[in-house]
Amino acid sequence: MAKVTMTVNGKTRTAEAEGRTLLVEWLREGLRLTGTHVGCDTSQCGACVVHVDGEAVKACTALAQELDGAEVTTIEGMANADGSLGVVQQAFQDYHGLQCGFCTPGMVMSAAALLKENPKPTEAEVRHYLEGNICRCTGYHNIVKAVMAASGQDVAPVAAE
């Protein structure tokens, strides 16, 4: 066991980690930040995506000890300071970009990473960027619409079904 300290959603946080402790376990069990989900054992679903030093990373496929000192943003850090939903979150609500919500934390974090890199992506770019985020419910079209809307673009041309 070792003490691991990161800046999580702007605050300095410390919790214990074994060598094998994954970032997602450290966040969920160490800090009780359970917004970041685990949807698979195989690094394929993207439900666990968070930002590490500004980049999208699968928290289930990174070691907490390795990231000692890193700056991490999770879904809990995406709301505005007054507690209202952030732009991407609000767009997911407005465009029904979620049903059960299980994949949503990862979707929102991936979408936010995309929009930081590419503020006005095309529909094709959104679909390509979200390839690593699997949703069992929505059929993706509303998620793509939400991301287009969050980037301030017209969603009317996005495939309807």
Ligand X SMILES: Cc1cc2nc3c(=O)[nH]c(=O)nc-3n(C[C@H](O)[C@H](O)[C@H](O)COP(=O)(O)OP(=O)(O)OC[C@H]3O[C@@H](n4cnc5c(N)ncnc54)[C@H](O)[C@@H]3O)c2cc1C
Q: Phi first, then psi: give them for residue 104, nearest 5 degrees.
A: -60, -45
State which residue, 89 or 110, has the beta carbon closest to ligand X. Answer: 110
Cβ contact 126:160 at 8 Å:
no
The residues that touch ligand X, with contacts defined as CB under 6 A, are: 43-44
Question: Does 36 engage in binding with ligand FES (CB under 6 A)?
Answer: no
Give the C-alpha separation, 24 to 37, whole Å: 8
Question: Does 5 engage in binding with ligand FES (CB under 6 A)?
Answer: no
State which residue, 34 or 44, has the beta carbon closest to ligand FES. Answer: 44
The residues that touch another protein, with contacts defined as CB under 8 A, are: 18-20, 22, 41-44, 46, 49, 52, 55-58, 61-63, 65-66, 110, 113-114, 129, 131-133
Stretch of residues binding ligand FES (CB under 6 A), selected from 63-71, 73-81, 136-144, 152-160: 136-144
Give the H/E segment covering residue 143.
Answer: helix 141-150
Stretch of residues binding ligand FES (CB under 6 A), selected from 9-17, 71-79, 101-109, 118-126: 101-109
Give the residue from 41, 139, 138, 126 showing the smallest Cα distance to 88. Answer: 126
State which residue, 22 or 33, has the beta carbon closest to another protein. Answer: 22
Q: How far is the CB of 46 from ligand X (least distance, A)?
A: 9
Q: How far is the CB of 121 from another protein (least distance, A)?
A: 12
CA distance to 60, 88, 97, 101, 121, per residue, from 137 (Å): 22, 19, 10, 9, 24
CA distance to 11, 50, 106, per residue, from 123 (Å): 35, 23, 19
